[in-house]
A and B are shown apart, each in its own frame.
Chain A
Amino acid sequence: GQQVMQIPQYQHVQEGEDFTTYCNSSTTLSNIQWYKQRPGGHPVFLIQLVKSGEVKKQKRLTFQFGEAKKNSSLHITATQTTDVGTYFCAGDSWGKLQFGAGTQVVVTP
């Protein structure tokens, strides 16, 4: 079955620095969604990518979908303390989301 892997598992970032987290699927995805979960909270939808090679930006966040639609990345620039949380990618299989294990982001002031 479909498997979604995320790396790194943990990301320690100095405030103001940039970082990237990666998502890889064992199968071609119809689309991919990204969610953010704050400590003690629930997943909150960030964005979905549908087209091969698609790039979308949300302020300091840049999301990319690979040409083969099997991988995706999230790049955050000028990290802020509000970026703390776990970022999940989720492959969409006919409405059923297959989540990766997430990248837990810790920001050092």
Chain B
Amino acid sequence: GAGVSQTPSNKVTEKGKYVELRCDPISGHTALYWYRQSLGQGPEFLIYFQGTGAADDSGLPNDRFFAVRPEGSVSTLKIQRTERGDSAVYLCASSLKWDIGDEQYFGPGTRLTVT
């Protein structure tokens, strides 16, 4: 079946602009996660959803970052007033349910470049 998909695959934006990154999880997966990965680093947790609600948003770096999952499937990560430091690969992952030890399936990521 289809895996996790993310769009766009690449996004170049100017400093100060607003961007939206989209994630389509695997069908039937109730848990959805957003990570950010900088070069040479491991993925850094941002936020995760169980169903429609944000179960833990403690990883969002500041209030410029926001994510939604209105119908419990597709999720959008929104970044306002982008800064050059926001440049990274944004990874989305999903798992069948939210539980300790549940395998997470990652999407290909969106490479965000802020100029």
Q: Could you list which residues of chain A lie within 8 angstroms of chain B, going by C-beta atoms?
A: 30-31, 33, 35, 41-45, 48, 50, 88, 90, 92, 94-102
Contact = CB atoms under 8 A, between A and B. Distances in A.
Contact of A92 (B42, B101, B107, B109): B101
Interface in B37-75: 40-45, 48, 55-56, 58-59
Nearest to A30: B100
Contact of B41 (A30, A35, A94, A101): A101
B93 to A, nearest CB: 8
Q: Which 7 A-B pairs have the closest CB atoms?
A: A99-B42, A42-B106, A31-B101, A45-B103, A43-B106, A95-B98, A99-B43
16 contacts: A30-B100, A33-B101, A33-B103, A42-B91, A42-B107, A42-B108, A43-B93, A43-B106, A45-B104, A95-B95, A95-B102, A96-B48, A96-B59, A97-B104, A98-B45, A99-B45
Interface of B: 31, 33, 35, 40-45, 48, 55-56, 58-59, 91, 93, 95, 98-109
A95 B103 contact: no
B69 to A, nearest CB: 15
A64 B65 CA distance: 37
Nearest to B91: A42
Contacts of A43: 43, 91, 93, 106
A44 B43 contact: no
A90 B43 CA distance: 9
A97 B102 CA distance: 10
A97 B43 contact: yes
Given A42-B107, A43-B93, A96-B58, 15 more contacts: A30-B101, A35-B106, A42-B109, A43-B91, A43-B106, A45-B105, A48-B101, A88-B42, A95-B100, A96-B45, A97-B33, A97-B35, A99-B42, A101-B40, A101-B41
